Structure 1
Amino acid sequence: MTADEAVVWRNRALTLFDRVSVPVAVCDVYGAVLLANPAMAAEFGATPGRLKGRDVLDLFRPVEAEQVERIAQALRLRHRSRYQVSVRWDAPGGRVRHGELTADPVSDSVGKTPALLVMLRILDEEPATCPPPSDAVTPVEARILALLAGGATTARAARETGLTADGVSYHLRRLSARWRAANRTELVARAYAEGVLAAGVWPPEGRG
């Protein structure tokens, strides 16, 4: 590819980057935003230029801090897997929103230190009429449901799973929205009905 052709394709990619409705950013390996599209900037009531240079962890708060350390270690070793982090952030108007960041390492060559292509999936705007299937329940969520079924409080579930109380509450909100459960009793009943929790077992446990 010639230099002129490379410029043409870069301009096309940037046009697509700006027009896509999914919030997307490109960060360096340390998490500093190099480029953000308008959809990402809109989540903070800003313009793309105002996000440049910001640390992605200043913009988004990870629900599980250990996720971030695992990703950082993998990047230092130049692993090129896809990484996902559950996050919250402060939207315009003081609302706290919840979602999931997906980070893909990208670079021009295998040996080069990768940048991160970061995409945001907004979970608190998913339509209630299209809940994910029961097999979308994560091992952490299954463990939380099992603890709830055994009578655990939010605080105890947090201790048992290594999450914060906010992290447990976040997963419970996701599950409640997914199954349209009005309370925790209904949530546990639905977990048994969906086969997420093993029937006839005490203490309760997720199906392996």
Structure 2
Amino acid sequence: MDRTDPAAVVWRNRALMVFDRVSVPVAVCDVYGAVQLANPAMATECGTTPGRLRGRNVLELFRPQEATQVERIAEALRLRHRSRYQVSVRWRAPGGERYGELTADPVSDTVEETPALLVMLRVQGEREPVGEAPHARVTPIEARILALLADGATTARAARETDLTVDGVNYPLRRLSARWSAANRTELVARAYALGVLATGVWPPRAVASEGPE
């Protein structure tokens, strides 16, 4: 497909819109595992923004449980095999250590081209640190979003002020709501104060120093 063709540009933009809205963590990597594109869901699992994931190696972000799995996949890719590959991984998410499965599908326009990898993450569970309060741990970005909500910000305003998309704001809010059993955003902000994520007695609302990568 001619990438300069107007119809191709329209469909590319539509595909990127869908990519950003998908709730499943997804990234596109080169054949060596360097992230070229990531959606907000994938960035949230890493406690950062999609732009800051670009160039990072996916196997540094998500630690394989078996090194032999990665070696077999690398050999298969060198031989240009186009199967679906699965790797059991662990990673440090904002709420604690999690584990799951990375699925990598080689994709390219032609068989002759060196494929890119479409990587999807399936979260299977979470290990909460002993002796800590993991439910109160949030990333600086999540804390900033919560402070903006406490100040009465709309989702659109929170997206502008954090340099995220609207979906990039909604995804961590859905995760926090599920983690804290918050029925709505008013309750979510109340939980943030109760857990010490937001500072009390100050205005405008301000986040207490939070853990985790930006």
TM-score range (shorter-chain normalised) is: 0.5 to 0.7
Q: What SS does the corresponding residue of 1:42 show, helix, strand or coil? A: helix
Q: What SS does the corresponding residue of 1:124 show, helix, strand or coil? A: strand
So what's the TM-score if we normalise by structure 1? 0.58
In the TM superposition, residue 4 of structure 1 has moved relative to its aligned partner by 0.8
Unaligned runs of 5+ in 1: 126-208
Unaligned runs of 5+ in 2: 127-214
User: Counterpart in 2 of 1:86?
Assistant: 88
User: Counterpart in 1 of 2:45?
Assistant: 43
In the TM superposition, residue 45 of structure 1 has moved relative to its aligned partner by 1.2
Residue correspondence of structure 1 range 7-156 to structure 2 within 5 A: 7-93=9-95, 95-124=96-125
| One-letter identity of the residue aligned with 2:100 | G
* 1:48-103 alpha-carbon deviations (Å, 9 max, x no partner): 0000000011100001110001000000111000000000000114x110000000
Runs of 4+ in 1 over 4 A off after TM superposition: none
1:10, 1:77 → 2: CA distance? 29
* 1:5-51 alpha-carbon deviations (Å, 9 max, x no partner): 11011001000000000000000000000000000000011000000
* 1:136-187 alpha-carbon deviations (Å, 9 max, x no partner): xxxxxxxxxxxxxxxxxxxxxxxxxxxxxxxxxxxxxxxxxxxxxxxxxxxx
- How many residue pairs get aligned? The number is 124
User: Counterpart in 2 of 1:141?
Assistant: none
Q: What SS does the corresponding residue of 1:123 show, helix, strand or coil? A: strand
Residue correspondence of structure 1 range 188-207 to structure 2 within 5 A: none
| One-letter identity of the residue aligned with 1:26 | V
1:81, 1:44 → 2: CA distance? 27
1:12, 1:35 → 2: CA distance? 15
- Report which structure shows greater RCO (CA 8 Å, sep ≥6): 2
Aligned-CA RMSD value: 1.1
1:68, 1:44 → 2: CA distance? 20
| One-letter identity of the residue aligned with 2:91 | W
| One-letter identity of the residue aligned with 1:124 | G
| One-letter identity of the residue aligned with 1:104 | D
